[in-house]
Structure 1
Amino acid sequence: MASRLPPVHALSAFEAAARHGSFAVAAEELCITPSAFSHRIRLLEDFVGERLFLRDGRSVSLTEFGRRYLDVVRGALSSLADFPLPHRYASTQLKVKVTVPPTFARYLFLPHLHEFMALHPEISIETYLSVPLYDMSLSETDIEVRFGAGKYPDIVTEKLFREPVFPVASPAYLEQIGKLNVPADLQKAQLLRSALEPWQPWFEMAGLDWQEPSTGLRIDDLGLLLEAVKHGYGVALTRQHFAADMIASGEIVSLFDLQLTTPQHAYYLVYDRHVRERPEVALMLDWMMERFSTQRLSL
């Protein structure tokens, strides 16, 4: 019968912390966040059923059990590292992990990623999806694009670009409810709701003393929100780089020529400061800041 083995990533975290006497330094060595590192240690302590470290402020020391277990762990890790792998590549593939929201990935990141890949073919890119406003930890990714208010403590946060917000509807829906000539005419329309694009700031800009809609269809994905508009479910707020193709094709139309220039949410590039020490990650960060700046996106 197969025995249950401790997770290798937790064993490597344990060995690094024992060697440095510090969770923070060990986390930097493994290129993960302190919270992710602490999770690995808790996972291993739960597995062995014993405390491995004594915490004293920022420093840590091994318990008696931890010292005995460390000898076993180092022996096991050493055996794995020293085992000959004749077919393994001589050099390690440079790799960058990027986490992006779905709509940003679909409309901005993937259409331009070929530029970076052509400049740096030696770097492998791994792309993951996140849920805006919900995923609030970097986990084990190198770079993350977040859609939100930009208030992320203890990590580097850089705004990618500023983009105005405006309402859109489908021509078929406008035929159904009648023309919307001024913002106040929205009272006869079904306003599609999204936590990502709240209506209240746009109402205030348009001079409407209205409350945030509390009923009707809600979609917390900006791409799906546009699809709902295209299919005639109502009026929604959107941004130029997401709606440009649908507007150009006539599937949806912009209303009122009124734009909220300072929306509540924007796209931010977030990362732990130490990842910039890796050249491949620094290249990707610099490229993203350059590629997705407001000036470049307008080209």
Structure 2
Amino acid sequence: MATRLPPVHALSAFEAAARHSSFAVAAEELCITPSALSHRIRLLEEHLCERVFVREGRSVTLTEFGRRYLDVVRVALRTLSDFPLPNKVTQSQLRVKVTVPPTFARYMFMPRLASFTDAYPDIEIEVYLFVPLYDLSLSESDVEIRFGAGEYPNLVTKKLFIEPSFVVASPAYLKTLPPIQSPADLRHARLLRSALEPWQPWFEVAGLDWPEPTTGLRVDDLGLLLEAVKHGHGIGLTRQQFAQDMISKGEVVRVLDTQLATPPHAYYLVHEAQANIRPEVQLFIDWMQATYQQV
């Protein structure tokens, strides 16, 4: 039977935290966020079924088991690090890990990323995806782009840009409906639902005393929502940066002039509050803010 071993990244986090008696200092040494280091320690404790630290405010001390286990871990890590690797070239690589929502990544991040990599060719970018409104804790990323209300306690949060939302439909679907000349004419249409683009704020701007739709197709991804509109499943809310290509191709058309100037959800740049952010991470944050202020 194979023996289940603890993950090496959790062991290195444990050793660093024990050496510094601080999660924050250990996280800085390992170039990860304090929350990511805490997550690794929890993984190790769950694997061992034992506590290795006693947490007292911001300070941490080893338990009796933790002290004994630390000796074993240090021997194991030293054995691994001292093993000769004749073909390995030591190299220090600057790296920024960024987590982004899928639609933002596809329509807004990837088309602009070359301007950063061209300016800073020595900095590697690692891109990870997460689902807006659901994954609300910082992972091992240095920076996250979140789509939400911007209420993230204990995190540095900066709105990237403001973009109105408006109604779109496919030309083929519009042909199946009576003419839509005023917001009230939407009563004849299937309204596509999404927690990311709720209808209620748009209804208020349009002068409609309607409740949020509770039936019909629901899609909690902005890109898939737009695809659903394109394929005639109904009428939906979208934003210019996502829809402009489909609009230019005639695959979807804007319905009515009414738009919601400040939707309840927007894109925010989020990162841990740290006294000393790594220079390459700060360069990336500055680039993101400068780039999306122009949107």
Letter in 2 for 1:272: E
Distance 1:234 1:58 in 2: 52
Aligned to 1:260: 260
Aligned: 1:131 with 2:131: yes
SS class of match (2:229): helix
Letter in 2 for 1:231: H
C-alpha contact 1:275 1:282 (8 A) present in aligned 2 = no
State the identity as a percent.
69
Q: CA deviation at 1:275?
A: 8.8
Comparing 221-230 with 84-93, greater Cα deviation is found at 84-93
Q: CA deviation at 1:47?
A: 2.8
Aligned to 2:59: 59
Given the superposition, is the C-alpha separation of residues 34 and 125 from structure 1 closer, same or farther in structure 2, using an over 3 Å criterion?
Answer: closer
Q: CA deviation at 1:2?
A: 4.4
The two structures have a TM-score, normalised by structure 1, of 0.93
Q: CA deviation at 1:24?
A: 3.3
C-alpha contact 2:142 2:281 (8 A) present in aligned 1 = yes
Letter in 2 for 1:79: T
Which runs of structure 2 are paired with 1:52-91 in the superposition (5 Å)? 52-91=52-91
Given the superposition, is the C-alpha separation of residues 90 and 54 from structure 1 closer, same or farther in structure 2, using an over 3 Å criterion?
Answer: closer
Comparing 46-55 with 74-83, greater Cα deviation is found at 46-55
SS class of match (1:161): coil
Aligned to 1:107: 107
The two structures have a TM-score, normalised by structure 2, of 0.94
Q: CA deviation at 1:188?
A: 0.7
C-alpha contact 2:33 2:141 (8 A) present in aligned 1 = no
Distance 1:172 1:261 in 2: 28
C-alpha contact 1:191 1:216 (8 A) present in aligned 2 = yes
SS class of match (1:259): strand
Cα RMSD of the aligned pairs, angstroms, is 1.7
C-alpha contact 1:142 1:275 (8 A) present in aligned 2 = no
Could you tell me which runs of 5 or more consecutive residues in structure 1 were left unpaired when the two chains were aligned: none
SS class of match (2:70): helix
Aligned to 1:162: 162
Which runs of structure 2 are paired with 1:114-263 in the superposition (5 Å)? 114-263=114-263
Distance 2:50 2:90 in 1: 39
Given the superposition, is the C-alpha separation of residues 275 and 234 from structure 1 closer, same or farther in structure 2, using an over 3 Å criterion?
Answer: farther
Aligned to 1:17: 17
Q: CA deviation at 1:148?
A: 0.3
Q: CA deviation at 1:44?
A: 2.0
Given the superposition, is the C-alpha separation of residues 31 and 94 from structure 1 closer, same or farther in structure 2, using an over 3 Å criterion?
Answer: closer
Distance 2:282 2:267 in 1: 19
Distance 2:49 2:172 in 1: 64
Letter in 2 for 1:99: T
Q: CA deviation at 1:83?
A: 2.5
Q: CA deviation at 1:90?
A: 3.1
C-alpha contact 1:276 1:282 (8 A) present in aligned 2 = no
SS class of match (1:271): strand
Comparing 92-101 with 273-282, greater Cα deviation is found at 273-282
Distance 1:250 1:146 in 2: 30
C-alpha contact 1:168 1:236 (8 A) present in aligned 2 = yes
Could you tell me which runs of 5 or more consecutive residues in structure 2 were left unpaired when the two chains were aligned: none
C-alpha contact 2:156 2:270 (8 A) present in aligned 1 = yes
C-alpha contact 2:154 2:273 (8 A) present in aligned 1 = no
Given the superposition, is the C-alpha separation of residues 48 and 223 from structure 1 closer, same or farther in structure 2, using an over 3 Å criterion?
Answer: closer
